[in-house]
Structure 1
Amino acid sequence: MNSKGKNGKEKTVQLKKELRDMLINLPSHYILSEKGQPKLVCVHAGIREEFIGKESERIKNFCRYGDVAGVDQQGKPIRRDWYKQYKGDLLVVWGHDPKPEPLMVNNTINIDQGVVFGGKLTAYRYPENEFVFVDAKKDYAGVKDNPLKR
């Protein structure tokens, strides 16, 4: 295999564009219902109660990146802990903020256990209310500022 990869640079560029377009056009969050009643919200980085079931660029950005209050001196986002103010009845399952173990606060569950940083991949099983974990084989990110080692 040459340095351009198995399928060549053009196919790689095209695939990246297709994946980006698909991800950009996905809904900002998913609502799971049981017998016609909403029970659980799945979202990438977070959601406010008043955003649930709605779409806008502001809502999409919040759901993608969380409650961002700017950037620090290294250019990394400063994230507010939106889940501490959440008071909704729907369970929110989210990530994008790696923690060593699932974090359960105010009817929210963070299931990002930093697999890319050598942690684990986590799934939350509903309605069983149980977690399934797969340990990472290694730290794939290899960054100095590993959020699991703070």
Structure 2
Amino acid sequence: MTPSRVGRRPDRTTLAVVALAAAALVVRLVGLGDRPLHWDEARVGYWSLRSLETGFFSYRPVAGGPLVYHFSRPSLALFGATDFALRLPFALFGAALPLAALLFRGRLAADETVGFAAVLAANPILVYYGRFARGDVLAVGFALVAFG
């Protein structure tokens, strides 16, 4: 039987991964609302705002599934209809990706876990799509957590 971790301090690996997630958050939030929405993001924003105004959502196959719209509604309700508010939930989710490295600690050494978290925090593709209001980073994150 393993001893309980309740009340114990986090180890250095966990602290390093959390620090990388915090750095990933900063990278994804800086200038988040500076560029105009891409047409696909604008479509997400439009249907999210319509859903927020009416309280109704209907599935549109051409517009994708409802997760991205439900994901962005609270941010739009809280911060208003801005590019920053639409992208914020996706940036937060993308910044949390390095935390998924902790799921692989049973198979990876401490330095490998931190390295994996660093790749998830700083990979240019994940950073780009982590600052973009689409479901790509959501799919990656959920798949990674399911695999972990």
TM-score above 0.5, yes or no: no
Q: Give the structure, 1 or 2, with the largest relative contact order (CA under 8 Å, sep 6 or more).
A: 2
> Larger % of helix: which?
2
Query: What is the TM-score normalised by the length of structure 1?
Result: 0.26
